[in-house]
Amino acid sequence: MSVIDRLASSLGRRDSVPNQELAQELSKTKNADEIRELIENLNNKDRKIQSDCIKVLYEIGYIAPELIA
């Protein structure tokens, strides 16, 4: 399952809990490929995916800023 499939909008959710949980998981695992996938999708044609990627990256930056620096 790709990181995009785990975003709140992809799961049909309107809250940000899945995005926060994903950020916590990525902060613990330090999975650079999945973080890179989030960054690459900041230009996705779907605005909801863009927004969710921003939210997850924001949360990662709060928890472990060195992962997105």
List the one residue out of 45, 44, 35, 37 whose CA is nearest residue 68: 35
| Domain count across the chain | 1
pLDDT digits (tens, 9 = 90+) for 20-66: 999 999 999 999 999 999 999 999 999 999 999 999 999 999 999 99
Query: What pLDDT does residue 69 have?
Result: 85
Cα torsion 64, 17, 38, 44: sign: negative
Query: What pLDDT does residue 1 have?
Result: 78
CA distance 42 to 66: 19
With H, G, I as helix, E, B as strand and everything else as coil, classify residue 69.
coil
Domain coverage including residue 63: 4-67
Query: What pLDDT does residue 44 have?
Result: 95
Query: Is 30 in contact with 68 (CB distance < 8 Å)?
Result: no
Please list the alpha-helical segments (H only) found in the chain. 17-29, 32-40, 47-63
